[in-house]
């Protein structure tokens, strides 16, 4: 877009320069043509900066294109966890390895945001896709597709209101630590602010697929964020059904989150989630119902980060999920992979090579218990990545 504009300005300016050289031999009519050409050059120069609120403009609508290209390279020492560090497969005989190298570009994504002024306030739109299709295929997958009306309404698919975005741990690999809600759901959300740093939101959302329910979910959240301190509470209520439809239970959850920047460049944050039949909302994807009973779960994450100068940032995050009933989100068909606990540790470093290029490295430790045998399995993984934002 900007290259084409620069070329247009250069051509127009060249034509203006050449014509100006001959201007002394021209009459008043030619001078008028020069003035018109000068005006067109000035218009091109003004437009080369782009619209005030977007990369492009169509009529009264501004459009921003954003996203990144990301290449990941990883090595699993004990169990092959795939393109994401999916700790649920640790201990699965078919994934056992003496060392497996892998790579992926499927986390790369592209998005489009629009904004149109109206009597209702700015009408915004977002459409975002990545390449994380199922079965390890690099195919387009919908992440977000929503409409916003002013500062209050969101209609469409976005992160669930139950998820704490502002205190979500940072990781190189796709999922991040276990013990936290992670879902993008179609919804209608209303948000309102109280003062400069506090907001309240409620939403009616579609339930996640693992809950097997056709009933909607109601969520509510309140957050205080002044840039130094963050405090958030969110709640969820709905229904969950067994896969055969024979059992229906109440589904509820509460998430408490907080963070503080205790000194320059430092960040400490925690998330705690508890509830009944909310396993499908968490990274570990535990069963909502087990043998006709609602499965209770507690999860939490703890993260510490520190900037090291202007280019480097390092961090460590711990996550855990603890289920009351043996859950089986990944199974070899024998029932031997039931677990009640998952744990992860992420240690990472990010180097900001340029304003748009980030290089990163991460060590990931995962642990899963076997609720049937009492055994505990662990796995180790290292990952390198390069990410170019646009």
For 132, the token pair is 């994380």
Q: What is residue 141's DSSP assignment?
A: E
Pick from 305, 322, 232: nearest CA to 262: 305
Looking at the domain assignment, is residue 311 inside a domain? Answer: yes
For residue range 159-190, list pLDDT tens digits in order: 999 999 999 999 999 999 999 999 999 999 99
Q: Calculate the average pLDDT of the chain.
A: 87
Same domain for 183 and 118: yes
The whole-number pLDDT of residue 334 equals: 44
The total number of structural domains that make up the chain: 2
Taking the C-alpha atoms of residue 28 and residue 371, their distance in angstroms, rounded to an integer, is 93
Same domain for 23 and 101: no
Decide if 231 contacts 223 (C-beta within 8 A): yes
Same domain for 385 and 292: yes
For 100, the token pair is 């497996």
The whole-number pLDDT of residue 138 equals: 84
Looking at the domain assignment, is residue 313 inside a domain? Answer: yes
Pick from 370, 349, 368: nearest CA to 360: 349
Same domain for 284 and 246: yes
Same domain for 297 and 219: yes
Which residues of the chain fall below pLDDT 70? 1-54, 329-336
The whole-number pLDDT of residue 329 equals: 60
Three-class SS of residue 13? helix
Same domain for 113 and 21: no
The whole-number pLDDT of residue 48 equals: 40
Same domain for 318 and 192: yes
Looking at the domain assignment, is residue 360 inside a domain? Answer: yes
The whole-number pLDDT of residue 38 equals: 53
Decide if 279 contacts 257 (C-beta within 8 A): no
Q: How many CB atoms are located within 10 Å of the residue 86 CB? A: 23
Same domain for 43 and 69: no
Same domain for 95 and 15: no
Looking at the domain assignment, is residue 58 inside a domain? Answer: no
**335: containing domain:** 64-389
Taking the C-alpha atoms of residue 281 and residue 188, their distance in angstroms, rounded to an integer, is 18
Taking the C-alpha atoms of residue 187 and residue 185, their distance in angstroms, rounded to an integer, is 6
Decide if 273 contacts 260 (C-beta within 8 A): no
Same domain for 270 and 341: yes
Looking at the domain assignment, is residue 56 inside a domain? Answer: no
The whole-number pLDDT of residue 10 equals: 38
Looking at the domain assignment, is residue 54 inside a domain? Answer: no
Same domain for 192 and 122: yes
Same domain for 6 and 126: no
Q: Where are the beta strands (DSSP E) in the chain?
A: 56-58, 61-76, 100-104, 109-116, 123-132, 138-149, 153-159, 184-194, 198-205, 217-225, 229-241, 248-260, 266-276, 289-290, 293-294, 296-308, 312-327, 339-352, 357-369, 376-389
Decide if 181 contacts 162 (C-beta within 8 A): yes
CATH number at 136 reads 2.40.160.10
Looking at the domain assignment, is residue 309 inside a domain? Answer: yes
Looking at the domain assignment, is residue 212 inside a domain? Answer: yes
């Amino acid at each position: 877009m900007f290259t084409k504009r620069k070329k247009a300005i250069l051509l127009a300016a060249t034509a203006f320069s050449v014509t100006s050289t001959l201007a002394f031999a021209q009459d008043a009519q030619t001078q008028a043509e020069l003035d018109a050409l000068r005006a067109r050059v000035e218009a091109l120069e003004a437009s080369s900066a782009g619209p005030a609120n977007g990369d492009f403009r169509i009529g009264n609508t501004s459009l921003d294109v954003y996203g990144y290209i990301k290449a990941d390279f990883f090595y699993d020492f004990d169990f092959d966890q795939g393109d994401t560090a999916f700790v649920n497969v640790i201990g699965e005989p078919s994934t056992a390895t003496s060392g497996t190298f892998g790579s992926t570009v499927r986390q790369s994504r592209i998005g489009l945001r629009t904004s149109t002024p109206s009597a209702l306030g700015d009408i915004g739109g977002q459409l975002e896709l990545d390449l994380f299709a199922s079965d390890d295929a690099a195919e387009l997958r919908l992440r977000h597709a929503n409409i916003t009306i002013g500062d209050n309404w969101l209609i469409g698919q976005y992160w669930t209101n139950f998820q704490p975005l502002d205190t979500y741990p940072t990781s190189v690999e796709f999922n991040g630590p276990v013990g936290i809600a992670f879902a993008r759901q179609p919804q209608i959300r209303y948000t309102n602010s109280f003062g400069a740093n506090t907001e309240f939101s409620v939403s009616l959302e579609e339930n996640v697929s693992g809950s097997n329910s056709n009933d909607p979910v109601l969520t509510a959240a309140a957050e205080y964020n002044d840039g130094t301190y963050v405090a958030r509470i969110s709640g969820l209520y709905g229904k969950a059904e067994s896969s055969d439809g024979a059992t229906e239970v109440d589904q509820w959850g509460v998430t408490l989150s907080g963070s503080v920047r205790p000194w320059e460049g430092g960040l400490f944050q925690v998330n705690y989630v508890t509830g009944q039949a909310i396993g499908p909302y968490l990274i570990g994807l535990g069963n909502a119902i087990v043998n006709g009973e609602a499965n209770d779960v507690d999860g939490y994450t703890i993260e510490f980060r520190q900037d090291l100068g202007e280019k480097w940032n390092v961090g460590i995050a711990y996550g855990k999920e603890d289920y009351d009933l043996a859950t089986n989100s990944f199974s070899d068909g024998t029932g031997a992979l039931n677990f009640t606990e998952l744990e992860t540790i992420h240690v990472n470093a990010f180097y900001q090579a340029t304003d748009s290029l980030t290089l990163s490295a991460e060590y990931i430790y995962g642990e899963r218990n076997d609720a049937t045998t009492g055994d505990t399995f662990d796995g180790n993984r290292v990952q390198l990545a390069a990410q170019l934002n646009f």
